[in-house]
Structure 1
């Protein structure tokens, strides 16, 4: 069954070729935009690599960069095909090229759609990555003398000030780790000794947070230490009074930031996907309409164009069968080689 069959007089074919030429160059610019968006997202993710535990989330920008570059090539050839479509004598030279061209184009167009879907579906992976990464970042905050972690404190402080957040889930995460280096502790002090002895692991834990958790918009001077001790501060109740530190956890802040960025990029790439799909559909109609003109003296006759000569299922199988036959033949060759090797191996007596 022919899908999307349409009649094309000569003038309509000319207008289709001219419009498609312009559309293909617009899609070329859109492909460059897709690549740029992928680079921007990749850069933003790499900026916070020290607080991310895995690199799975990078599949989104990597895919965007790949389909962006592929789109440049796809739409460049589409513009060349449109130019030759106006000359019935030059168009047949594309005949053997168009079938693999459409297969590759459809593959990368579908990949573009998958990138859009992934940009909305990666929230869980992003959140788990940030949860583990921020936990390690807070844990190694004090290790400014350890190779590989020299800038950990600086990175965490900058992160908390930039995103106006504190800790992983909230400010209480700092109560569970020793974030003050031993080199800045006076071990002759009774208070320091008592705190270390009171901890099973011998860590110096305090109910305080780094300075980067302080909220500069608070009218009260920053209270960094003894946050849960009401008697340590005048007119203070940590359970009812709004603390003058950031209450939002950095994981929530970063997830909201990155998901907002990816959702915005996803919406932009979705519009580019629709544009790319329009180019492929229009090019297919132009191709089938021009095939009826090939080899005829009168090129101004009315022709018919269609999207698919057969049904969707039959068309997919037509493209898949050569691939399946290739892999089937390869498996048969490997099995034959293995059988020959086994037969040639002498049996020990």
Structure 2
């Protein structure tokens, strides 16, 4: 028994083809939108690629770009078939193509759904790659005169000002690294000598942060040096006073930003998937309704359309039986080749 069988006359078939043609072109525009979102996300990730520990984060944007291009091509082709289905004589040339096309649409819809899931799951690996990338980037902050690292200071400063964040997890991460280059330190000064000699690695560490960590909305002038020294500043207590630097870490800020982009993109891809499933079902109805005309020579005759020729259970059983038969056929061929080889040797 066919699944969701519907009876069609000429008027219903024409209306279905027209609506489906319009939906296909909406799907083409949706494919363009997915492509643009993937390209935008790739550009945004490329802006801060120096702060990423690896290039795996570009897999999802690349996938979205490819899926968007595929959606444009598949839906444009489907729209052409729908346009030709208005004339049964023109549609006859597509009959042999319909089954492979619908199978391709099915696999494409699965790919779209997986792409949407990857968009929602990207937040997890992004946290790890940003944690390591930001940690390494902060170490190179002082290397503004070294080739390959000279833009790291600018990148980190612009990022902290744009996302209103400071450090990796928080502003105290700057206390654990030397972020001032040795060329700007006076090693004849006792303070500098004491700080360098007191550190095992010989680094100049201090309880201060770069200027880009300062919150311009704070009414007090920015305290970015000797932040844990209450006596260095008038009427100041670093334990209780609301510091005038950004408290949020940059990893949290970036993950929140990119996570929001990916959630929006994932929701869009899910909507596109629903649209693609709808046009695939509609195309199946068009195909079956034109293939089952009572009188093929009379386009005005009635016909029947369905989603599946059998029920879901029967269809699944048939597929499994065919797969088992293919497996047994392969084993028989291997056995025959082995016997032939033995006969040749003997």
Corresponding residue for residue 237 of structure 1: 237
Once structures 1 and 2 are overlaid, which stretch shifts more, 319-328 or 65-74?
319-328
Deviation at 1:276, TM superposition (A): 1.4
SS in 2 for 1:237: coil
Contact persistence 1:9–1:300 (CA under 8 A): yes
Deviation at 1:328, TM superposition (A): 9.2
Corresponding residue for residue 129 of structure 1: 129
SS in 2 for 1:138: helix
Aligned length: 345
Corresponding residue for residue 24 of structure 1: 24
Corresponding residue for residue 202 of structure 1: 202
What RMSD in Å do the two structures reach over aligned CA positions? Answer: 2.8
The C-alpha deviation readout for 1:268-324, integer Å capped at 9, x for no partner, is: 222222111111110111110110128722221221101111344665687799899
SS in 2 for 1:308: coil
The C-alpha deviation readout for 1:168-221, integer Å capped at 9, x for no partner, is: 000000000000111111111111111111111111100000011011111111
Contact persistence 1:166–1:247 (CA under 8 A): yes
SS in 2 for 1:90: helix
Instruction: Rate the CA distance shift 1:318–1:56 in 2: closer, same or farther, 3 A.
Output: farther
Instruction: Rate the CA distance shift 1:122–1:213 in 2: closer, same or farther, 3 A.
Output: same
Q: Distance in 1 between matches of 2:2 and 2:85?
A: 22
SS in 2 for 1:304: strand
Residues 1-349 of structure 1: pairs in structure 2 closer than 5 A? 1-293=1-293, 296-312=296-312, 315=315
Q: Distance in 1 between matches of 2:178 and 2:100?
A: 61
Corresponding residue for residue 347 of structure 1: none
Q: Distance in 2 between matches of 1:176 and 1:332?
A: 68
Instruction: Rate the CA distance shift 1:31–1:317 in 2: closer, same or farther, 3 A.
Output: farther
Q: Distance in 2 between matches of 1:338 and 1:277?
A: 46
Once structures 1 and 2 are overlaid, which stretch shifts more, 41-50 or 172-181?
41-50
Give ranges in structure 1 of 5+ residues lacking alignment: 345-349
The C-alpha deviation readout for 1:117-149, integer Å capped at 9, x for no partner, is: 111112110111110010001011111122211
Instruction: Rate the CA distance shift 1:197–1:325 in 2: closer, same or farther, 3 A.
Output: farther
Deviation at 1:82, TM superposition (A): 1.2
Q: Distance in 1 between matches of 2:148 and 2:323?
A: 48
Q: Distance in 1 between matches of 2:328 and 2:73?
A: 31
Give ranges in structure 2 of 5+ residues lacking alignment: none
SS in 2 for 1:217: coil
TM-score of the superposition, structure 1-length normalised? Answer: 0.90
Deviation at 1:8, TM superposition (A): 1.1
Q: Distance in 2 between matches of 1:140 and 1:75?
A: 48
Instruction: Rate the CA distance shift 1:206–1:11 in 2: closer, same or farther, 3 A.
Output: same
Q: Distance in 1 between matches of 2:304 and 2:318?
A: 22
Q: Distance in 1 between matches of 2:175 and 2:234?
A: 22
TM-score of the superposition, structure 2-length normalised? Answer: 0.91
Q: Distance in 2 between matches of 1:185 and 1:238?
A: 26
